Structure 1
């Protein structure tokens, strides 16, 4: 029963099928954003407008597609593939290696002449033939009138190394899924957050890193724009500060340029507008003297609300902070470059650039826009299995190359005035035939 199970698991079609299914789920995990909030999936995958015609938030949440890499079925697939690799190694690769590593001298002429490549060379000496093989990198062994030579034995061992490297990679991926933590935060410019607050356990095996009690300070957040006004790149100047207030590290990150500290990697993934400074000037009691008040108004996303499309934020300035606060001025912006202003009736009043100091009168009130603050969107992640994955990939590259090497074996016996040669190889048979012919043609001929 055990041998039958191992044989079934070592099936190549089964292993290929497992790889294809894993690749499919991995692709799905790339298309569907992972580890977002329930509200995020409800907003981005509504049942009324299904993505690709069938993907909506109930499907995603019911099947665990919001955390594919830690679901039981994905980890089960990794385990099944690991079992297939192990079974193939035990039932196929290891026996082949043991047979290849064991060798013996052959002394029967008929056995040698029955091999893939065989020839009888008259008036030749075994010692000359063995020296020529040694010059070509063969390991040569001689016992009396018998000789055995081989090279490329590592090519027989390398497939076992390939399987071991794949197991390392699979183990690292599973370890990252079960033992890793991840999360995302949106942090206003100038504020900070505790690292632990941005990390969520992937499973019960996950543990907080030692740096979890430290905080991250957002020193500055800036955006570069293309000539057409579109966002080119955004940057966050971050400092990691320990619980005693000492700065441990500092780096300006951007998309694809993360900050790594204490086993936690922080990626730049998003941005938003967080607040807007507005100065309000009102006529004084004498009708001439102006009184100025500066307010910092929080901004909220309006995307998908009230007919707004795309990334857009807005805030509201009440006309009176004492009485009816439902009437006021609306300020809307898509980025840090300009702000659209609407009066209390919803009519467009004008556009101003932040910090331009150029006033605009709306509903009898003079406004001046100040600084617009942004928030940086960071994704935090711990990947304890990354060293295993990197080691697996490195081993895979080396062993894959070594597995291409041919394992060539040559036997020969010395007869009275001739040598009988037989040889075989597991691949590159034409090259082996050519090499053996060249060696045999180079063997000195002795004349009586």
Structure 2
């Protein structure tokens, strides 16, 4: 029974230590990530995501990166990277800290190798001086008839690929922490609206904070030449009705409060109106293209703005009024700035000016520091792999007659030959010249 269990463990270990499995998993992740760009994601554009066919929603394509099956694939990739790294660790450690000079010529790399004759003592001194002057750490081993050495430069370059693989694991762990312990949501609100943070539309996670967000202003600003400047939202954080913080955000300039970050993601034109209902003034904010509606209290009349001009100098809107569940408007027309009209004898409506509806992505990600750590490790691993490659030079001298003999010298190239061969040729020329 014990042997059977050990065999099963060995089999699983062999599967997850396969580089082919890692490449397949990377291909699968890349494929579904590409598919995810074709489907609107609920945490970015909830309205478009809701319009996608139900079968695709059920399969998770509108919230791809938080589905259990996508996380499972990422988990398998992490296990694959960890197992491969464990297997390679001892070899990398030995190549860095436990270097052994070659015992015979067969241990000298054959791909790039040089052999020449000379005096034992002068060759030994020349090898030692040249290699150390070039920044190599040299280890010698000597017996009666021969001596050998191994020299390494930029030893930490051996760890480049190991650190790169480790960084992907850290990045996935950080993303998992953020998706499981934080939340991601979206809110669309008009100017003057107060939104409780726990009432926003959340694509994943749970909102545990308890404060309100007041939209002071929302603007779609343009430059003097007519080009769009940016979307700006001035918001306040309220706790028990008291303003705790106030900040203006725009695209690429978010704001964070108590670990919750607000990102400017969209903007929709709107208008601010006043409804006079039997002498009572009621503020009304309508979204362009019928994004919302106003129902006067005590009536079954629904008012929508079917089109709004964005010119702040000449605010105007086209409106429609629907009664009950009817699909046909009972009243429609155009309302200009300052104009007052009667709505079916139920109330009067005045256009006060333009107003904005801001779309904000709201996110709490406790794994963000882990992700930054993963990014730093990835950068370090790439630098070590491509710009700090280790160079390993080995050689052996075998006496033939007295102090005379033959030295064989080679260099380990790994996957790169060109630059290493140039370094090796220069070392050989300097050693022979001395």
Scaled to the shorter chain, the TM-score interval is 0.7 to 0.9
Classify 1:129/1:371 alpha carbon distance in 2 versus 1 (closer, same or farther; 3 Å).
same
> 1:242-391 counterparts in 2 under 5 A?
242-243=239-240, 245-247=242-244, 249-272=245-268, 276-278=272-274, 295-297=282-284, 299=286, 303=290, 332-337=306-311, 338-340=316-318, 349-350=333-334, 352=336, 354=337, 357=338, 368-391=350-373
Maintained 8 Å contact 2:266/2:360: yes
Distance of 1:391 and 1:266 partners within structure 2 = 23
Report what 2:326 is aligned to. none
Shift of 1:150: 1.8
Shift of 1:386: 1.6
- Give the TM-score normalised by the residue count of structure 2: 0.77
Where does structure 1 lack aligned partners over 5 or more consecutive residues?
Answer: 46-55, 282-290, 304-311
Distance of 1:21 and 1:389 partners within structure 2 = 22
Q: Deviations over 1:374-415 (max 9, x none)?
A: 332222111122211221122112112212314422223374
Q: Deviations over 1:159-183 (max 9, x none)?
A: 2211111110111112222222122
Shift of 1:190: 1.9
Report what 2:138 is aligned to. 140
Report what 1:216 is aligned to. 213
Distance of 1:40 and 1:138 partners within structure 2 = 62
Find the partner of 2:393 among 386, 393, 409: 409
Segment of structure 1 superposing worse, 6-15 or 78-87: 6-15
Instruction: Compute the RMSD of aligned alpha carbons.
Output: 4.1
Report what 2:231 is aligned to. 234
> 1:92-103 counterparts in 2 under 5 A?
93-101=88-96, 102-103=98-99
Maintained 8 Å contact 1:125/1:418: no
Report what 2:32 is aligned to. 25
Report what 1:126 is aligned to. 124
Report what 2:56 is aligned to. 60
Aligned residues: 403
Shift of 1:83: 1.1
Distance of 1:234 and 1:37 partners within structure 2 = 16
Report what 2:12 is aligned to. 5
Shift of 1:32: 2.9
